[in-house]
Every structure is written in C-alpha cells, then in structure tokens.
Structure 1
Amino acid sequence: MNPFSYTRARDVAHAAREGAAGDVKFIAGGTNLLDLMKENVERPQRLIDINGLPLHHIEDTAEGGLRIGALVRNADLAADARVRERYPLLSSALLAGASPQLRNMATTGGNLMQRTRCYYFYDVATPCNKRQPGSGCSAIGGVTRIHAILGANERCIATHPSDMCVAMAALEAKVNVVGPDGARSVAFADFHRLPGETPNLDNNLAHGELITSVELPPEGFSQHYSYLKIRDRLAYAFALVSVAAALRIEDGRITAARVALGGVAHKPWRRPDAEQSLIGAQANAKTFTDFANSLLNEAKGQGDNNFKIALAQRSIVRALVQAADGTPQSQTDKRIV
C-alpha cells in the first residue's frame, strides 16, 4: 500500500475544500476504497475521513419523498421502516448486496462511488484503460464471463457492481453534492458514466465534490415491484444480471413502468424510451417478453458472456411478472418462483 496522510473533516465545507487539494479520496466505510489501495489500484496521497460529518440521517422531504444522508449505512437504510414501507424495491436491492458485515459498514455515498468491476482492472500487471488511459483493455479477448453486454466499447467492457444503484436508477433518485464551487443536484441517470472515451471516469462528479445525500421522489412503487438478482452463488456475489422492476397497474393495464438492469453495463442500465412501450399495455408475459427483446436489442456479448443476453431476457420477464403479480423476489428465501 502506498504511503498517505490522513485528515478528519471538521464540517462539509472543510471536506469540500480539502477534497479539491491534490490527489485526495474521501473515506467513510472504506469497503471498496481500502481494497483498491491494498491492490495498488488506487494510490491517493491523502485520505479525508468524513465519518464525523452530520450526514447520517434519513428525513422526509417537503415533496413527500425521502432524503438519505450520504453516511447512512446500507444495513440501516434497508431496515428503515419508511424505506421498507414506501420504497421496498430499494430495501430489497440493499439486502441482495454484499454480506451483513459489509452492509453494516458500507454507506449510501460510498455505494454510489464503487469502481466498476473487472478482473483486469484489479490486476496492476495488465494494461487497463481505467487505471491508465490509453494503455488498452486486457479484458477484450480475455476472460469475459462477468463483463458488459450493453453500453461497452473497445476501451472498456467492465460492469457496475452495485445493487442499491440499480434500484435508485429505477426510482429516479437524485444525488446532492457539494464542492469548491458550491452545492448542486444530479439526476441519478446522469451520475454514472458509460466508458466513452474516458473509461477511467466512473461518474460525473467534479474534482473535490462530496456526496451529501440522495433524494427519493414520492413515487415508490410499493405495490408492484421486484428486485431479482442472478448470480453464481446465493450470497456474497456480484450480479451476473439483476433487474429492478417497478410498475403501476390500474384495471389490469400498466400506467407507469421503470426497469433498470445491473451487471450488464458500466452503469445501471435503463431506457425510458423502451419503457414507454409498456404504458397502456396489459401486464402479462407476452407484453414483458416484447419489452425485454426491445430493451436488449443492442446487447452484444464478448464470447464468455454471450449467455448473459438470454439470461437478461428471461430475468427481465421474470422480474416484471413478479412485480405485476405483487409477489416480489424474496431476499431471505432466494429461490426464484
């Protein structure tokens, strides 16, 4: 691990000032950052500990939503009565992620900041455009079983690892940040990036900006939802494919629909244009199959991960059927029914 200095932030303004000064990383739970530092993938000169900042609360907003402080632990967020009642999709996604020990440490803001997952990104002996732009992508032509089928390019085919973020994408949350130039809000769809020409950048935060909270809108889709995660083992594993499905149904027809995918792209994958095809349609398997085919019409495998396309298609249909029937996937009994 590279030598670094350590500072505790006194307040949010102090954190923002210090965060803009050089090669600096904010640390809270550290469940991803410390792993990256141990592997010499991340080598910050300074760490700024933000655990003492007043960002640990979950509050109702004037609009009827919820404001979640950046330091709220994943376990506390999943267990919060308001989240379980009004945003059960988010609670379910959180419980599908990591392990109880990690959920006790990991924070809301840190979850958003996870680096995309790739064997070669973590192996500093191999070229990787995420670690060293312009060096090449070792994953292409390599072992690609976990890699992207959507939104990738010749520079990077890594996938985003978060479960929480897939649910927040479907719920259309927004991220509040503060930096040297003041405070601003970012729509969740605009927070994470596809690789484009800069695969080394996972999000659209400016240098020194600190996440202070995430806001959920009033609509929580608490009646018709499901979070379905398909993985190699039933605990402590990243998704091969995950689906956050949220529907509003009136008289047997869909009046609102949100579907976000995890494990398939550099960011949580959602296409509001495709979702429009569900509006007014009957909530049945044929409708959902047609939608899944549309959502995946640009999917492309890399060989080892070709199976993900068919797996994603079946997972989308299954999650939407679960949501429509009001029988969401259990995160306790993980058998898919």
Structure 2
Amino acid sequence: MREFGYERAVDVADAVARCGADPDARFLGGGTNLVDLMRSGVERPASLVDVCRLPLDDIEVTSGGGLRIGATVTNSDLAAHPEVRRRCPALAQAVLAGASGQLRNMATVGGNLLQRTRCGYFTDVSAPCNRRSPGSGCPAIGGEHRNHAILGASEHCVATHPSDMAVALAAFDAVVSYETTDGAGELPITELYLPVGDTPHAETALPHGALITGVTLPPGRPAARSRYRKVRERASFAFAIGSVAAGLDVRDGLVHDVRLAFGAVASRPWRARSAERTLLGGPVGPGAFAAAADAELAAAEPLPHNTYKVALVRNLVVAVLTELAEEAVR
C-alpha cells in the first residue's frame, strides 16, 4: 500500500477545500470499499480526508412528505429507520440485501453510491482494464463475464455497478446533493452515473472534489408500496447477479403509476423507462408485466456466458410486480 496522508475535516467547507486542492486526495467515510481498493493497489490516494464525523447523519421527513437522507448515515441506520421502512420499503430491503451486518454498520450512504465495480479484472492490477487504465483493453469481453452487463455496455467495458441501494434510489427519482468549492449542486441519481461509452474511467458526473452531502427521496405512492428483490449465488454477503426495485400504484385495476429499476445488468443502476411506459394506464397481470419486461430487455446485448440474465430479470419483474398488484387489492 502506498503511503498516504490523513486529515479529519472539521466541516463540509473544510472537507471540500482539502480535497479540491489535491487531485490525489479522496474522501473517507466508512472505507468499506476504498480501503480494500487501496490494499490491492487499485486506488493510490496521496491523502485521505475523513468526513465520517461531519454532521450529515440525519434522516428527516421533508415538508412535502419525502425523505432527506444525510451522506454519513450508515447503511444499518438507514435500513432500520421507521420512516424509511414506511415511506420506501424497497430502499430498506435493498440496503439489507447488501454486504453483511458488520459492513452495514460502517458503510455510509455517500460511499455506497460511489463504490466501484467488483469486476475481477478491475480489482486485479496485473490485468488490463479500461476503467482502471484507459486504453489497456477489456479482457472481460472474451474472458470471465458471467456476472457482467447485458444493457448499456460498450466494447470498452462490460462491468456492472454493485450498489443495491442505488438501484432502489434510481427507481424512485432520488436527487443527490453535493458541495464543491464553487458552491452546492444537485443531480438526479439517474444522471449521477455516466454511460460507459468509450470513457469507462469517467464514472460519475460529479465535479472534481465534490462531496456528496445527502440524498432526497421525493414522496410518492409507488415508493410507499414498493419492493426490492435480489438474486445472488449464495444467501448472504454476495453481490447481485440480477435485481429489481419496483413500485406500483393500481387504481380500478389499471396501472396508475409504476417505477422500475434493474441492478447488476449495467454499469449503472438501470431505470427501466420502456417497461414503465408499456405498463402505464394498462391492466395488471403476469402477461402485462412480462410484456413490459420484454420491452425493456429488447435492448439487451448479452455476452456468451451471461445470457441467463435476460430470463432472470424478466422473471423477477413478473414476480415482484405480481406480488405488488396482489397487495393492492387486499
């Protein structure tokens, strides 16, 4: 591990000033991803700016009935908060589906959103990887890619984004707030992550030195009746091979509102807008849900060893939406 400096920020302005002045500095929250990457040599910061004690650890109900979640709220506290469970159960379920209890006690909301891919070629510094070393190639395309992207990938990168939390937030139009030396800003979470294109090393739209300060989840009936379902290769402490966050508002047997996002299928949480448009205003039922999934997955371009993900995600969509529709008429 490269030697590095360590500084503890006294407030948000101090944090962004310290990190903004040094292109090789990184913010340190719980460190559950960053420290691992430092140990493997993927990340080599010159200094760490500790932000975990900044006063960004509150969860508040907004005046409109949404939720404002501070960036240093731990995953455990987020999943256990009664207002999160009541107003967006899919978010609590997504957080509990990730990592282990010990890691959730350390990991923060801001850090979770910025965690980097778990592609084996990315984390192996002896292997080429366009995301880690631009222009070196993507060996996953012709190599091990069973858990890689089927949507939105490119010839330069087929890695997937690992966050469960981000999938749920993407489904319900969360907005990410951040602070820089030039002032505050906001980004819809669906715009936070950049398309992989030919620059996979550019992962987010955040300005240099930006510190995520919180996430706002707007109110909405689909969020209040929502679910997150994750499929993985073992029962716990494993990343998804496919996941779905869904919210459904049914009135008089028709879909009044619906939200869908997929995980483990792209380099970013995948908002399933084609599926949503297909369902909106139509009847509920397994056939309609399958047709909506097919409309979204028509753009899928699986690799030889991950074609199973198309059927997996389709079945997840049908199962989760069917359960939500049944709950709506009880």
TM-score by length of 2: 0.97
Once the two structures are superposed, the pairs formed by residues 144-155 of structure 1 within 5 Å of their partners are 144-155=145-156
> 1:223: Cα distance to partner?
5.2
Residue of structure 2 equivalent to 1:13? 13
> 1:37: Cα distance to partner?
0.4
Residue of structure 1 equivalent to 2:231? 230
Q: Distance in 2 between matches of 1:167 and 1:271?
A: 12
Q: Give the aligned residue type for 1:285.
A: P
| Alpha-carbon displacement from aligned partner over 1:215-257 (angstroms, at most 9, x marks no partner) | 0101153553221101101111100000001111111111001
Secondary structure (helix, strand or coil) at the match of 1:326 reads: helix
Residue of structure 1 equivalent to 2:60? 59
Q: Distance in 2 between matches of 1:308 and 1:222?
A: 25
| Contact 1:225-1:324 within 8 A present in 2 as well | no
Report how many residues are paired.
327
**2:129 is the alignment partner of 1:138:** no
Q: Give the aligned residue type for 1:11.
A: D
> 1:63: Cα distance to partner?
2.1
**2:199 is the alignment partner of 1:198:** yes
Residue of structure 1 equivalent to 2:165? 164
Residue of structure 2 equivalent to 1:37? 38
| Contact 1:241-1:308 within 8 A present in 2 as well | yes
Q: Distance in 1 between matches of 2:197 and 2:203?
A: 11
Q: Distance in 1 between matches of 2:95 and 2:117?
A: 18
| Alpha-carbon displacement from aligned partner over 1:107-158 (angstroms, at most 9, x marks no partner) | 0000101102201000111110011111111111001111000000000000
| Contact 2:194-2:203 within 8 A present in 1 as well | yes
Identity of aligned residues (%): 50
Once the two structures are superposed, the pairs formed by residues 85-164 of structure 1 within 5 Å of their partners are 85-164=86-165
| Contact 2:175-2:188 within 8 A present in 1 as well | yes
Q: Distance in 1 between matches of 2:101 and 2:327?
A: 26
| Contact 1:171-1:220 within 8 A present in 2 as well | no
Q: Distance in 2 between matches of 1:307 and 1:191?
A: 28
Secondary structure (helix, strand or coil) at the match of 2:200 reads: coil
Q: Distance in 2 between matches of 1:117 and 1:159?
A: 8
| Alpha-carbon displacement from aligned partner over 1:75-117 (angstroms, at most 9, x marks no partner) | 1011001111111111111111111111111100001011022
| Contact 2:222-2:257 within 8 A present in 1 as well | no
Residue of structure 2 equivalent to 1:4? 4
Q: Distance in 2 between matches of 1:317 and 1:80?
A: 29
| Alpha-carbon displacement from aligned partner over 1:266-289 (angstroms, at most 9, x marks no partner) | 000013243112111111000001
Q: Distance in 2 between matches of 1:280 and 1:317?
A: 17
| Contact 2:153-2:196 within 8 A present in 1 as well | yes
Q: Distance in 1 between matches of 2:173 and 2:7?
A: 34
Secondary structure (helix, strand or coil) at the match of 2:153 reads: coil
Secondary structure (helix, strand or coil) at the match of 2:271 reads: coil
Q: Give the aligned residue type for 1:20.
A: G
Q: Give the aligned residue type for 1:57.
A: D
Q: Give the aligned residue type for 1:6.
A: Y
Name stretches of at least 5 consecutive residues in structure 1 with no aligned partner: 328-337
User: Higher helix proportion, which one?
Assistant: 2
TM-score by length of 1: 0.95
| Contact 2:167-2:261 within 8 A present in 1 as well | yes
Q: Distance in 1 between matches of 2:298 and 2:234?
A: 28
Residue of structure 1 equivalent to 2:26? 25
Q: Give the aligned residue type for 1:180.
A: T
| Contact 1:157-1:266 within 8 A present in 2 as well | yes
Residue of structure 1 equivalent to 2:298? 297
Secondary structure (helix, strand or coil) at the match of 1:121 reads: helix
Q: Give the aligned residue type for 2:112.
A: N
| Contact 2:221-2:249 within 8 A present in 1 as well | no
Q: Distance in 1 between matches of 2:241 and 2:261?
A: 14
Q: Give the aligned residue type for 1:5.
A: G
Q: Give the aligned residue type for 1:208.
A: G
Residue of structure 2 equivalent to 1:239? 240
